[in-house]
């Protein structure tokens, strides 16, 4: 699982349904949702 910071909970949590994406500048990133509150989470890097 991928760990990212949730802005709403203000805590690091494991991402639910992580999905690898590529940003407009070509760098890798991961997006998913917070398992606690359902807010979108985003982590830059591979």
pLDDT score at 1: 82
Whether the predicted pLDDT of 6 surpasses 90: yes
pLDDT score at 12: 95
Whether the predicted pLDDT of 22 surpasses 80: yes
Residues 26-45 have pLDDT tens digits of 999 999 999 999 999 999 98
CA gap 42, 27 in Å, rounded: 13
CA gap 35, 41 in Å, rounded: 10
pTM: 0.82
CB 43: neighbour CB atoms within 10 A?
Answer: 16
CA gap 38, 14 in Å, rounded: 12
Average confidence (pLDDT) over 4-29: 96
């Amino acid at each position: 699982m991928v760990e990212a910071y949730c802005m709403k909970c203000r805590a690091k949590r494991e991402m639910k349904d992580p999905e690898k994406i590529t940003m407009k500048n070509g760098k890798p990133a991961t997006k998913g949702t917070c398992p606690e509150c359902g807010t979108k989470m985003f982590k830059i890097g591979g």
